[in-house]
């Protein structure tokens, strides 16, 4: 019975209900795009660290988990490797450079990452092959770099760095392409660590034993013991701090502030949604007071009236959220792949669930009001 009443009214007044569903669709689009932007921009900061094939990341202690400030030498990395329970380690360094686009049509900024081939820190390729050795003049480019430069496996990538006050150009052969591995909000180029030492700003020519890296990626025998192993390594190796990947990427500069800002926008949009939907149904209920009074007078229970209203709120919300989601996904197909808009399953589902909830939350006041309508007053029988 309640569903029947709700559906009949919505069918007869479809224009009105479609209007509020459209508003919900617009709010849905806004929320989803803000969530996707948060994800996309967040990826720019965290992608490399989030996907790292390591259970812990070692920093120099006392640097507030700053990759740029941290320095760990080869002996320290080997000392970490010797701690019981550690499977393998890999030294990783990061700097920034520019890729000179083919035909000198311009430059794009990239993060250049130095890793140990075959060790934690080197990402798996989706095309081509992995890096061969520490000195090889070769590189992996991530998907983001590939899209921006149109470089393919077998091409030569020209990197430009500043050495002192002079520009230097380095040609490396692209041997593989990875999935997205952005770092410091830039696409990345991954190369052997000693090659990185010769390419980076302030380049030096080093042997492996002299390698100094920003961080060390640590793989454990039992990943579920990560917390205990972090304590153990810190106790046995001096001057290091170990954290998990999530802590590491959350500490990257600007990540928290960026995410907080975008989350605030998302919650504000949801709050606006609650106000708009709530306002609409409250006005609807006020206009229907005589009808509600009549229904109660002929014997409709409060449950019937409340469920009918709740059914309408849910139907309108679900319709609006569905339309908004389809519109968002359709619109996203027209965006260039370089735009930092990423719809991930988890973020989309979480946003949709929040949006579907705003309906019932918004409808609570009007449902309460409807159940409290006094039939005699509503139908004018108080005289």
Partner 1 sequence: MGYALETRNVKKVYGSGNSVAIAVNNVSLHVKQGEFLALVGPSGSGKTTMLSMLAALLRPTAGQILIDGRELGKMSDAERTRFRREKIGFTFQSNNLLPFLTARENVELMLRLNGKFDKAGQRRVIELMERLGLGERLNSLPRQLSGGQQQRVAIARALVHNPAVVLADEPTAALDTERAHQVVQTFATLIHEQERAGIMVTHDLRMVQYADRVAQMMDGNIAREITAREEINALASEGRIENPSARLHAAPTPGSPSREQMPQPALAM
The residues binding partner 1 (CB under 8 A) are: 1, 4-5, 8-9, 11-13, 290-291, 293-301, 304, 375-376, 379-383
Return the number of the residue (252 or 312) whose C-beta is nearest partner 1. 312
CA distance 82 to 75: 11
Q: Least distance from C-beta 360 to partner 1, angstroms?
A: 22
Q: Least distance from C-beta 295 to partner 1, angstroms?
A: 8
Return the number of the residue (221 or 297) whose C-beta is nearest partner 1. 297
Closest CA to 52 of 337, 248, 342: 248
Return the number of the residue (11 or 209) whose C-beta is nearest partner 1. 11
Helix (H) or strand (E) holding 168, with range, is strand 166-178
CA distance 261 to 259: 5
Q: Least distance from C-beta 318 to partner 1, angstroms?
A: 20
Q: Least distance from C-beta 17 to partner 1, angstroms?
A: 11
Q: Least distance from C-beta 15 to partner 1, angstroms?
A: 12
Return the number of the residue (331 or 381) whose C-beta is nearest partner 1. 381
Q: Are 315 and 6 in contact (CB under 8 A)?
A: yes
Return the number of the residue (193 or 288) whose C-beta is nearest partner 1. 288
Where are the alpha helices (H) located in the chain, listed in sequence order? Answer: 2-12, 14-50, 74-82, 143-149, 193-199, 226-236, 245-250, 255-287, 289-297, 302-332, 345-371, 375-378
CA distance 206 to 170: 17
């Amino acid at each position: 019975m309640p569903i029947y009443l709700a559906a009949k009214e919505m069918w007869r007044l479809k224009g009105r209900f479609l209007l509020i569903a459209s508003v919900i669709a617009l709010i849905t689009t806004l929320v989803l795009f803000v969530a996707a932007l948060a994800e996309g921009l967040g990826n720019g900061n965290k992608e490399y660290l989030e996907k790292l094939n390591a259970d812990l990341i070692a920093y120099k202690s006392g640097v507030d988990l700053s990759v740029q400030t941290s320095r760990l030498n080869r002996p320290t990395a080997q000392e970490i490797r010797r701690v019981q329970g550690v499977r393998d380690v890999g030294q990783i360094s990061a700097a920034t450079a520019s890729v000179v686009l083919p035909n000198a049509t311009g430059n794009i900024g990239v993060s250049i990452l130095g890793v140990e081939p075959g060790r934690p820190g080197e990402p798996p390729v989706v095309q081509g092959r992995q890096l061969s050795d520490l000195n090889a003049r070769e590189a992996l480019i991530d998907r983001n770099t590939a899209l921006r430069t149109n470089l393919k496996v077998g091409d030569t990538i020209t990197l430009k760095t500043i050495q002192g006050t002079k520009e230097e150009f380095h040609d490396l052969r692209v041997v593989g392409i990875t999935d997205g591995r952005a770092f410091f909000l830039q696409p990345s180029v991954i190369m052997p660590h000693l090659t990185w030492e010769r390419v980076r700003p302030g380049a030096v020519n080093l042997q492996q034993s002299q390698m100094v890296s920003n961080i060390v990626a640590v793989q454990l025998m039992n990943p579920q013991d990560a917390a205990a192993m972090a304590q153990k390594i810190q106790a046995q190796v001096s001057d290091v701090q170990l954290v998990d990947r999530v802590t590491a990427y959350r500490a990257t500069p600007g990540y928290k502030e960026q995410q907080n800002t975008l989350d605030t926008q998302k919650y504000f949009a949801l709050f606006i949604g609650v106000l708009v939907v709530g306002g609409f149904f409250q006005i609807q209920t006020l206009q229907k007071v005589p009808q509600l009074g009549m229904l109660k007078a002929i014997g409709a229970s409060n449950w019937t009236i409340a469920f009918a209203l709740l059914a309408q709120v849910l139907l309108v919300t679900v319709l609006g959220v569905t339309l908004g989601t389809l519109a968002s996904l359709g619109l996203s197909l027209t965006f260039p792949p370089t735009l930092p808009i990423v719809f991930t399953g988890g973020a989309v589902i979480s946003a949709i669930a929040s949006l579907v909830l705003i309906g019932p939350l918004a409808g609570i006041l009007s449902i309460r009001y409807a159940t409290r309508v006094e039939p005699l007053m509503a139908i004018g029988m108080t005289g």
